[in-house]
Amino acid sequence: MLSPAIDVATGPGWLENPYQPHLARIVRIYRMVPDNWVFTLRFLDEEIGRNFRQQPGTFVMLSIPGAGEAPISISSSPTRPGTLELCVRRVGRVTDALYRLQSNDLVGVRGPYGNGFPVEVMHGNDLLLVAGGLGMAPLRSLLWYALDRREHFGQVTLMYGAKNPASMLFREELVSLVDRTDINCLLTVDSDPGGTWKNHVGLLPKLFDRARIDPRTTYAAVCGPPIVYKFVLERLLPLGFSKDRILMSLERRMKCGVGKCGHCSIGYKYTCLHGPIFTYWDAINLPEMV
Amino acid sequence: MKILKLPKEQLDFFASVLQQFGEVHAPVRTRAGYSFRALERWSEACLDYDRTVLPPKKYFLPPRETMLTYRRPDGYVAGSEGLNQKLVLFGVHACDIFALNLLDKVFAEGVFPDPYYRTRRRNVAVIGIDCEPDEHCFCPSMRADFVERGFDLFFYDIGDHYLVMVGTALGDDMVLATGPLFTPVADADIVEYKRRSALKKTKYQLEVDLRDLPEIFELEYGSEIWEELGRTCLACGNCSTSCPTCYCYDVQDQVELGSTEGPRVRTADTCLYSQHAAVAGGENFRHSQASRIKFYYYHKQRGFVMEHGRPGCVGCGRCIVHCPVGIHVVDVINRLRGVRDAVASH
Ligand SMILES: Cc1cc2nc3c(=O)[nH]c(=O)nc-3n(C[C@H](O)[C@H](O)[C@H](O)COP(=O)(O)OP(=O)(O)OC[C@H]3O[C@@H](n4cnc5c(N)ncnc54)[C@H](O)[C@@H]3O)c2cc1C
Ligand code: SF4
Ligand code: SF4
Ligand code: FES
């Protein structure tokens, strides 16, 4: 028995099966940093590729045949359609299996999922992107979105901190932004063992001394390990940032991506549906958030 | 709503007619307790049961279900066993039907309806039956002692007849398939229905007050009660496995050695297990049993209210009956509220 309002589908409804992965081909593997590679994917079915509407900050469920499924942020910007770039850290069963694949091999992709950054709301404002370590992966889509739609934003600032130059994600690409005038690109490393690093050395929060941020006109997007949130908030809040102008991308265990399996819950929200982008206001109001 | 009555002695005839609508399943007494099963003969059906061990959610979210199979060169092919089998569940209690209506909110409605669940929901007819509360029931507190929808037919005992509410066109077809067995209700039947309904209301022994319960949960987030429950709870998962509204699942790809082909299977899971919120790098967002049992209660009594406007609990009492260490949901809620002697009898 199903109430009539719901019972509209005829046939088994497989056409709209949200669990159906679509086959995509690996067209490029960029061995960026050991255990942090970038995989460029293209859907076999062009129609699916064309209709794939991601927002910066959304993610896909990536299936590797024989291994399983894992949520992975989309690192490429919707302003550059056609392929999807996933920056994947090798940590376990699914990601190991992905690292064993080669160009031209097939994977499964479904999505995009999650709320993404509220880019329409952010239009017309300054942007401050703060990433620590692997946090650059989900922020990169927003970064390129802003650079490609530059007219929609005021001042754009990126602060990114990594342990050392060798572990910096997208290093070459980001270093090439340092001299651009349409973005204040601040890159720092905790230490520079090779002694060849031309940018900043020091902890991420120190970069705040290098930027002029107006909290009334800025949206801050923060992503990184828990320690990054702690130290970045200690800088943002005294500046007078309103709690809903601070956006954070959170990770939880996920088994479905579509609000069913229950694994991604934080307090009373599902990260896959209500997140993964949460405002700081959400964060302090959800038990077990950070 | 169309309301009719059926003489009790005609029930087995009606049941035989039901077979044309699908395989008839009803509660059967087993060594482990009552269980919904396919009937071999109608006499096996036990309609005056208290509660089944597993709720009828097993028909809609099977404890183990194949979702897709990976095969070269087709990729992931969707499909699941028994999806299109027509069943008739006879004798489902109001609280369990209410719970299915709640599962609909998660699996049939919203942005990503689940086609497996929806298909099973379309193929399984539900015939409800009135019940006698026992010392573990508190469905009125959860406002789940009656259902307005979610059944094809609903049977109320009014003495030598059943008063039958016809909920859907399919239910109507079932009625019509029996010829003139069902007849209109008389004034005396309505009086008897109301008398029994009023009497039933007096029989409940447990009560919780839902008013501002989400706020109480917020206020008591740091309560010592959670630590105490965490020390007692064995993480066996019985309370969740047997709960008609719990729906968490896990997903695994099963492959044969040396191959990448095979099924993707989902299995029932529970937030009381230690790995439920574990993520990469050994981090676990709910690292203690106290945090897990707290989450179990929060999701039902706080989160579900935020999301769907009411608690994710129907007061069926299964978690009370099946907890090996006597953790008692009504007791937990009332202690949080500061009402200590509300549980009269346990
Ligand atoms: C919204 C979102 C976006 C994400 N974006 C990215 C991204 O862009 N790039 C990226 O690399 N990752 C991303 N992740 C994380 C990624 O999903 C996980 O690293 C991935 O699921 C790991 O899958 P796996 O099968 O390879 O690892 P698993 O085999 O699941 O294991 C990973 C690690 O977790 C531990 N682990 C796994 N299961 C358990 C368990 N049950 N108990 C205890 N420990 C366990 C293992 O010990 C292992 O170290 C994202 C996650 C989310 C939720
Ligand atoms: S929480 Fe307990 S009483 Fe409530 S619906 Fe679940 S099993 Fe029944
Ligand atoms: S049934 Fe009792 S012991 Fe088992 S998980 Fe639930 S609360 Fe814990
Ligand atoms: S990942 Fe399954 S509910 Fe969010």
Q: Tell me the ipTM for this assembly.
A: 0.87
Task: Say if residue B231's pLDDT is above 80.
Answer: yes
Question: Domain A119-289 is in which class?
Answer: alpha beta
Give the closest-approach CA distance of B117 to chain A in angstroms: 10
On whether the CB atoms of residues B32 and B53 are closer than 8 A, the answer is yes
> CB distance B150–A7 less than 8 Å?
no
Mean pLDDT score of chain A: 90
Taking the C-alpha atoms of B172, B173, B175 and B179 in order, what is their torsion angle to the nearest 10 degrees?
A: 140
Task: Say if residue A13's pLDDT is above 70.
Answer: no
Residue A211, strand partner residues: none
Higher pLDDT, B73 or B248: B248
pLDDT at A80 (0 to 100) = 92
Higher pLDDT, B344 or B155: B155
Band (A12; pLDDT cuts 50, 70, 90): very low
pLDDT at A11 (0 to 100) = 42
The CATH 3.40.50.80 portion of chain A extends over 119-289
Task: Say if residue B276's pLDDT is above 80.
Answer: no
Among protein residues, the one with the nearest Cα to ligand 1's atom 21 is: A70
CA distance A109 to A20: 8
Contacts of A288 in chain B (CB under 8 A): 285-286, 291, 295
Chain segment B295-322, per-residue pLDDT in tens: 888 888 888 888 899 999 999 999 999 9
Instruction: Copy the structure tokens of residue B103.
Output: 């599962």
Higher pLDDT, A277 or A16: A277
**Burial class, B326, CB count within 10 angstroms (exposed 0-12 / middle 13-18 / buried 19+):** exposed
Q: Could you tell me which CATH number the domain at A12-113 has?
A: 2.40.30.10
pLDDT at A2 (0 to 100) = 43
Which residue's structure tokens are 């989900």?
A138
pLDDT at A6 (0 to 100) = 35
Task: Say if residue A61's pLDDT is above 80.
Answer: yes
Band (A289; pLDDT cuts 50, 70, 90): low
Q: Write out residues with Cβ below 6 Å of ligand 3.
A: B 233-239, 272, 293, 322-325, 327
Q: How far is the CA of B192 from the centre of ligand 1 (A)?
A: 60
Q: Which residue of A has its CA nearest to B218?
A: A287
> CB distance B251–A256 less than 8 Å?
yes
pLDDT at A288 (0 to 100) = 63
Mean pLDDT score of chain B: 91
Give the closest-approach CA distance of A79 to chain B in angstroms: 25
pLDDT at A5 (0 to 100) = 35
**Burial class, B281, CB count within 10 angstroms (exposed 0-12 / middle 13-18 / buried 19+):** exposed
CA distance B99 to B102: 5
Q: How far is the CA of A206 from the centre of ligand 1 (A)?
A: 30
Dihedral class, residue A90 (left if φ above 0, else alpha if ψ from -120 to 50, else beta): beta
Q: Residue A114 CA: which ligand is closest?
A: 1
CA distance B312 to B309: 9
AA letter at A216: R
Q: Between B106, B151, B286, which is nearest A1 by CB?
A: B151
> CB distance A267–B303 less than 8 Å?
yes
Chain segment A27-39, per-residue pLDDT in tens: 999 999 999 999 9
Task: Say if residue B105's pLDDT is above 50.
Answer: yes
Question: What's the pTM?
Answer: 0.91
pLDDT at B306 (0 to 100) = 87
